């Protein structure tokens, strides 16, 4: 093989390896007040020390929890003390009583060497139970606007179980147009959803949208 061909092969291998390393970020979601666990799928023995670190929103990097063969476990940061545990055999970290301050990237050092894999934790509040607002218009007496004014992902459904496409609503949320079907038992719901929870509104029935017109 010529020197030029050999150089091309080496360049290709380096490029592929870099792509693999750059993709070592894992997104993790947790609910306020809840519990989350994450970590490496496996660690190679022998292991003499493990340190988990967290980069706060201010940019400051703090030690979350650490373990070493001689001194055992330690939780240096008050924000994690009493709510964080570490499995020294797997490297998995467990955090309870989550709050928004726990959001951000986490890294793990094993035997004083930072691992390639990073974990980005986002702590989210449970979505509220939505309320559908009704807006009637004189221009369309046989139709009304139903509004769900929230920032989360919104899913509209009707009593047939069909998912309905909503339109953006200013300043936030979505709306749909509900047209009179002539059936008082037809209803619509709005569901809010995020990565950790979902909640559905009470149904809004056609008989309450078009009083005296059914």
Domain range spanning residue 73?
Answer: 26-124
Q: Give the rounded distance of the alpha carbon of 187 from its chain centre.
A: 30
Q: How far apart are the first and last CA of the chain?
A: 84
Domain shared by 52 and 77, yes or no: yes
Token pair for residue 67? 């373990």
pLDDT-above-90 percentage for the chain: 81
Query: Over the stretch 145-176, which tens digit does the pLDDT of each residue have?
Result: 999 999 999 999 999 999 999 999 999 999 99
Please count the structural domains in the chain.
Answer: 2
Domain shared by 108 and 148, yes or no: no
Last residue of a domain, one of 79, 103, 124: 124
Last residue of a domain, one of 103, 124, 145: 124
Whole-prediction pTM value? 0.79
Domain shared by 137 and 105, yes or no: no
């Amino acid at each position: 093989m010529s020197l030029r061909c050999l150089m091309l092969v080496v360049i290709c291998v380096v490029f592929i390896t870099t792509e693999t390393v750059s993709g070592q970020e894992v997104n993790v979601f947790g609910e306020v007040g809840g519990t989350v666990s994450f970590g490496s799928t496996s660690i190679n023995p022998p292991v003499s020390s493990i340190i988990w670190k967290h980069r706060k929103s201010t940019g400051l990097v703090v030690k979350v929890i650490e373990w070493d063969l001689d001194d055992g476990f330690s939780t240096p940061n008050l924000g994690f003390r009493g709510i964080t545990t570490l499995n020294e055999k797997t490297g998995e970290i467990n955090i309870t009583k989550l709050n928004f301050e726990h959001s951000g990237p986490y890294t793990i050092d094993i035997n004083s060497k930072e691992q390639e894999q990073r974990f980005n934790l986002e702590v989210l509040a449970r979505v509220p139970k939505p309320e559908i607002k009704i807006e009637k218009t004189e221009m369309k007496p046989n139709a009304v606007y139903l509004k769900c004014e929230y920032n989360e992902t919104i899913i509209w459904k009707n009593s047939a179980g069909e998912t309905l496409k909503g339109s953006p609503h200013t300043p936030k949320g979505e709306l749909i147009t509900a047209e009179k079907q002539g059936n008082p038992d037809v209803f619509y719901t709005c569901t809010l959803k995020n990565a950790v929870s979902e909640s559905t509104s009470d149904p809004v029935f056609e008989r309450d949208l078009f009083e005296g017109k059914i």
